[in-house]
Amino acid sequence: MSKIAAIQMTSSASVIENLASAADFIQRAAQQGAKVAVLPEMFPLFGLNPEDKLAVSEPFGKGLIQDSLAELALQHKIWIIGGTIPLQSSLPHKIAAACLVYDHTGKVVGRYDKMHLFDVTINANESYQESAHIEPGNEVVLIDSPVGKIGLAVCYDIRFPELFRKLFNQGAEIFAIPAAFTTTTGKAHWEVLARSRAIENFCYVVGACQTGLHQNGRQTYGHSLIVNPWGTVLTSLADTTGIITADIDLTELKKIRRNIPVDQHQKIDIP
């Protein structure tokens, strides 16, 4: 068995402050024996305005945020799933919300751009339009890691089970989901969605979340969690910053899949 960690943050409008916080949490995760650490969505910047992401966006492969994660991975000999990082996109007025994966040498071994964008109206006073500033991705991404095969998703993606079934069919054993759920939708749906994605596919789910009141006035739900393939929440963290860890037991996962072989019983083809 190998240990994985989910990091919960209350990111600010300062990239420098957020990188310092992430560095501390990653060091602590490594000290606790984690082989992989998952950062939350928007960990390097929770801006005062959506446009702030453009000002700090980086070209893929270089920049303060990417260099910092590479150095931390190498320093602590830990894999890092980097939440979402604002990368320059093909459109000058938009960024890519990119989840980059660094191995223990600091090398990028995976990139997933958030596919499903949060264009929703929660109520009369709360609405979001991510597509105004983010260019969506279109590729499903699975990586081999020291803890198993990890499928990548981000926040709103969790509402689209076909993405996770496609990852399952490609061999996923773990889903890593950086998130920044609203308080309203988080209370109602976050845990049940995470457990559902775990149960449907007999996969671990690792959700790393933003929490608390941010400088722009937005409140995020928190409640990072790690769910096992049977749908049991192994560990969770309510509404404070911190780290949770759990062991990934692939032997138990394979036993569950042998006993209930949903992969063999599928009737709708999602290649």
pLDDT tens digits for 38-56? 999 999 999 999 889 999 9
3-state SS, 227-260, equals: ECCCCCEEEEECCCCEEEEEEECHHHHHHHHHHC
Kindly name the residue from 99, 135, 155, 203 that is annotated as catalytic: 155
The whole-number pLDDT of residue 270 equals 81
Evaluate if residue 159 carries a pLDDT over 90.
yes
The whole-number pLDDT of residue 170 equals 98
Q: What is the mean pLDDT of residues 202-227?
A: 98
Q: What is the mean pLDDT of residues 157-184?
A: 98
Annotation marks residue 71 as catalytic: no
pLDDT more than 90, % of the chain: 96
Annotation marks residue 94 as catalytic: no
CA–CA distances in Å: residue 176 to residues 83, 122, 125, 237, 265: 9, 25, 31, 16, 25
* Cα–Cα distance, 10 to 68 (Å, whole number): 19
- What integer best gives the mean pLDDT of the chain? 97
Evaluate if residue 139 carries a pLDDT over 90.
yes
List of domains in the chain: 2-259 (3.60.110.10)
Kindly name the residue from 35, 41, 58, 99 that is annotated as catalytic: 41
Kindly name the residue from 35, 53, 94, 114 that is annotated as catalytic: 114
Annotation marks residue 203 as catalytic: no
Least confident segment among 23-27, 48-52, 88-92: 48-52
The whole-number pLDDT of residue 50 equals 85
The whole-number pLDDT of residue 144 equals 98
The whole-number pLDDT of residue 269 equals 84
For residue range 180-192, list pLDDT tens digits in order.
Answer: 999 999 999 999 9
For residue range 238-266, list pLDDT tens digits in order.
Answer: 999 999 999 999 999 999 999 999 999 99
